[in-house]
Structure 1
């Protein structure tokens, strides 16, 4: 196929969230809360098990009281906050203000790192005249993350689930993205890390290619090897 457009997922595809350890350490420092080493390790382990960090490890178990919010968490900003702060509140942290502070931290550019080959691949696509969109299941505006990391000039359009009230794998979100780029889905590739959510684009006629959701240091060329741009592999 001649690729005229590429849609990228955000978390685990172009960017990776910091570790739970880094997330908690940063917020404790920002809030001026001091905890002992053993307590820090316990909080880190419990937050990770709870799945409280958006973009981080999934919850081992979602409490029944949060099941509805969790299932539709990316359809609105309110549901996203409810789901993730609710998961975090399963952990008895030493200051009640930490739950909201943790949520706010994950929305900051400092909490995210782009994959090593993201700028190269996006730049090569743009130089080739390929239209580029970001399609993300998310509950907040990720555009500042792209701006802070210098990738926003390479993106033509963003389709964020919470702004449309629909989340992947629903084909409507991919249809909106293709329409916004002015392209037929048959000419578009969807790139993501989730075979269920991102794989939904296949039902619309998009080609779908996957990367592994790995730490940045462990995936130096996952995007480069997808064959999106001739000569970039």
Structure 2
């Protein structure tokens, strides 16, 4: 059966979160809090090691009181916020306001950078008449990010885990995406960066293509092979 639609993961596939240093710097500027310039890199590294930046490095260790939130982090919005502000609080910062601002910053369009070929590939798919859905394990609404970066008009449907109360590789999310596009699973290609989560679509009969979760400057054309898979 011919592929007539593509399902894309979000973080690490179509876009990448900003580096921890610029994330922290933006929060400092927004709150007016201050850190000695020579300490910004150190604090940013500590926050990333603690896992406080969603979409970046997972925490090296999860505090026992946050373990349940970690397991269910992408199933509902309030828990997502509680988890990541809790992880950030493992690092003592000079202003309490920074923890909430860091969380807010990571949801803003400026914190996300599309991979260089995301827009061209989505445009090419639209030009071929293929429908597109974004299927993401996430605890907040990413639609404003896509709108701000000019990608929203090229996405036909969003299936976000926190809106469904379950996460990939649960077949329910892939089925919801296929249903939203009016496709049978055999007509869809799932593109993502996680073999376990995104690769779960294969159990339904979807084709799967994996990309590397790299900084945007290191992966200029990782999505372009998708076009070759569609004939």
TM-score (norm: length of structure 1): 0.96
Question: What is the distance in 2 between the residues matched to 1:182 and 1:43?
Answer: 47
User: Counterpart in 2 of 1:24?
Assistant: 24
| Unmatched tracts of structure 2, length 5 or more | none
CA distance in structure 1 between the partners assigned to 2:123 and 2:43 by the alignment: 40
**C-alpha distance in structure 2 between counterparts of 1:45 and 1:115, whole Å:** 23
Q: What is aligned with 2:201?
A: 201
- Rounded to whole Å, the distance in 1 between the matches of 2:127 and 2:41 is 46
SS at match of 1:94: coil
Measured in 2, the distance between the counterparts of 1:81 and 1:35 equals 24
The reply to whether residue 210 of structure 1 matches residue 210 of structure 2 is yes
Q: Distance in 2 between matches of 1:151 and 1:30?
A: 27
Alignment partner, residue 190 of structure 1: 190
| 8 Å Cα contact 1:3/1:188 also seen in 2 | yes
In the alignment, the residues of structure 2 paired with residue 36 and residue 84 of structure 1 have an alpha-carbon distance, to the nearest angstrom, of 24
Q: TM-score, normalised by structure 2?
A: 0.97
1:104 lines up with 2:104 in the alignment: yes
Cα contact 1:169–1:199 (8 A) shared by 2: yes
- Equivalences, count: 230
1:124, 1:229 within 8 Å by CA — same for their partners in 2? no
Q: CA separation in 2, counterparts of 1:169 and 1:78?
A: 22
Q: CA deviation at 1:5?
A: 0.6
Give, in whole Å, the separation in 1 of the partners of 2:62 and 2:84: 10
Provide the alpha-carbon RMSD of the alignment. 1.0
Cross-structure match for 1:80: 80
Q: Report if the CA contact (8 A) 1:125-1:229 is conserved.
A: no
